[in-house]
Structure 1
Amino acid sequence: MTVEMKTDTLVIGAGQAGVAMSEHLTRLGIDHLVLEKKRIAEAWRSGRWDSLVANGPAWHDRFPNMTFPGIAADGFVPKEQVADYFVAYANKFNAPIRTGVEVTSVTRNQGRPGFTVKTSEGVIEAQHVVAATGPFQTPVIPPIAPVDDALHQLHSAHYFNPQQLPEGGVLVVGAGSSGVQIADELQRAGREVYLSVGPHDRPPRAYRQRDFCWWLGVLGLWDAAASQPGKEHVTIAVSGARGGHTVDFRALAQQGVKLVGLTEAFQGSKVTFLPDLAENIARGDENYLSLLDAADAYIARNGLDLPEEPQARDFLAEPACVTDPILQLDLTAAGVKTIIWATGYKADYSWLQVDAFDENKKPKHQRGVSSEAGVYFLGLPWLSRRGSTFIWGVWHDAKYIADHIATQRSYSLYRK
């Protein structure tokens, strides 16, 4: 087997995680290479719908050393500009990124240090491997999805705009940020839309002249080390669309979106929903109000001069779809021709053939340092804290991992 090249650290993936990793390795003078099977930040370009903007304001949702050109600090950056940002950022320090190269396997060398990495372009040997492919790898459609050729079904990763869908109504399953924004866009485009709402957190977009990203920062919530028990799979409903706004399910219903509970099962053309819609919305309200309470207490404690906003606690009346919930829907009779599954993703590490996973094939790591010496994970939710999913959080996680690699190198290079 001919080895094409050797490098100290191989970074796999050139999204925000891979670019951040490369910057820190460059800073430390560590020889490295970044491989990307498509283009830099490809997920931002082709794995999101056309109108998507970042969910965090430009002043916050970025790397520390570069702002978004031409975007106001409180603006929300369109997805193509986010991708362009990472390309420009990589160019700032001449990141050694090779695109169009797919990694097919990583195995530990026997009887000598390091790893052998097989790729679509040859074999590479590396002393350290960083899996920076992130959490959004394989779209998940749950097994309850009906087998029905009359229905057009797709994951939110493959939704781009209303025009791509056949005529007729749409059922959107999942009410996190993606599901809510897609349902809103489709209804505004004139579609009849049903939105299946499960458990969720619903933070205010802004409160008392501060974005919720600011509030999570000053309240120390970005640094939470783990999600609350029972909330591991709770989605977050927040939007930067149309200048940013608080997601309000009652307002969506008033607008014309028909809300239903968690999707339970399909039988023929009929779908049943759990009777949990009111409970899910109420729990989302509790999350929303708890952040307002924490913000008010912080303002009082620190004597800040921020205007009161009592109207933020006013809720619209409960819509009919909440007080008299739809528990069963005949999709054919309702004219629903499309189901969009906004049901998340799963990671695929089948190429990473090392002892770094638990019995459920989840990465075993501490702040990205895996149980397999020399292997690292980057870009995963809650890698080190709540903020790890976000652009700025990835940058800080990458710094920690790069410093860890540098420390391990110093040990391996020791000679008496």
Structure 2
Amino acid sequence: EKFNTPVILRSTTRISHGKSVVRLGERKASQGKIEFLKNPQKYVAVPSYARKMRERMEKRLAQLRLYVNKCSQNRIIARGKEVGVVASGVTFQYAMEEFKEASILKLGLSYPFPDDLIREFAHNYQELIVIEELDNFLEEHIRSLGIKTKGRDFFPGIGELNPDKVAQGHDRIENSSVLLVEKKVDKKATLLPARPPVFCAGCPSRGLFYALSQIDCVVSGDIGCYSLGVFPPYERLDTILCMGAGITVAQGMDKAGFRDKPLIGIVGDSTFFHAGMTGLLEISYNKGISTIIIVDNRATAMTGLQDHPGTGRTLMKKRTHTAYPEDFARACGIKNIRVIDPLDFGQTLRVLKEEVRKKAASVIISRRACILIEKPKKGPWTIDPDRCTQCGRCLKVGCPAIYKERANEKVILIDEVLCTGCGFCAQVCPKGAIVPKG
């Protein structure tokens, strides 16, 4: 508000997944009145006004360049006299833990860059180290000021940093070696079984992707729990780009002339309302040929079961109008619209085969609530050893509740604790060996 400019709070994955004890202060409610002051020169970006906006922006940046050199968000933690470390975000914490004898410059407000502050900081130390993830944005700017640094040559530019990687970089700097230091690992940790990402036990998407694995097609995916369909045993996603691209990539391949296999685009209900509706309209308008599957699990499941326009509730849990994807598909002019229960294997496979054969656009709504919202009323299932022939078809369903016995891998069991009772595995068993327990 002081500089009349937008501020972006950037959160990385590790910060978003972190937790800590916090000390609560007094909550101060905003006393300001919400009002709008008419000012077209500020809010209407037509060319004649936009040129003036640019002038005002440059003036704001000049003021901010003075501010960032003195603001409390950019601060120095003085600890050593020889080495200085520049860090921002989560790398600041790694630097504090690993470089205990070094002074740290924490950049909480990194743009515009505090040139005067960094010059002052660098002047006081014999060696300046820059720790940052991915692109060396900070280091390049510091070097442009004529300051020598150590950074990307010692810390990887691919993937997240963590305390171990920063410790390795520290060792490489001290030893003047380009070789990675061997990481000390607790032998017990190496005995832990791998935990690949999988759908939850009872997840409706498991039924859908198992059915898709029975069809020879090209599937463009999207952002959501269903992204896990790219992994074994399904391996049924060929592209994932961004939210909404599950639909538009299928349309793009169709318009490019791809005809070797049926084209299927997958998008979640939440993603459809957020970024998929225009893509579906484009398919209809441009007479595209593809099958679009909308995975409607009644929630924004991947990020914590938040509501969306299709749930009938606001984010504050107040009742509101429910939007249905099939209604929008009809409004777009899509003629072929089917609604399926993905845990009904026979229905799902039949509808998929019927729709991919059509030389027109079609929409399939795969509708069943997320298992974390609505659990099946039936109890766990079990495997009858007298009927089971160990064909392994149930294992290809990919449910974490189904496993081979460690002592005898020919014996397949169902974990009663993990089993949600969805019964999908029973539908794929050719011998009827999977039955309700009790």
Which TM-score tier does this pair reach, normalised by the shorter chain? under 0.3
Larger radius of gyration: 2
Which structure is higher in RCO with an 8 Å CA cutoff and minimum separation 6? 1
Structure holding more strand per residue: 1
- What's the TM-score once normalised by structure 2's chain length? 0.26
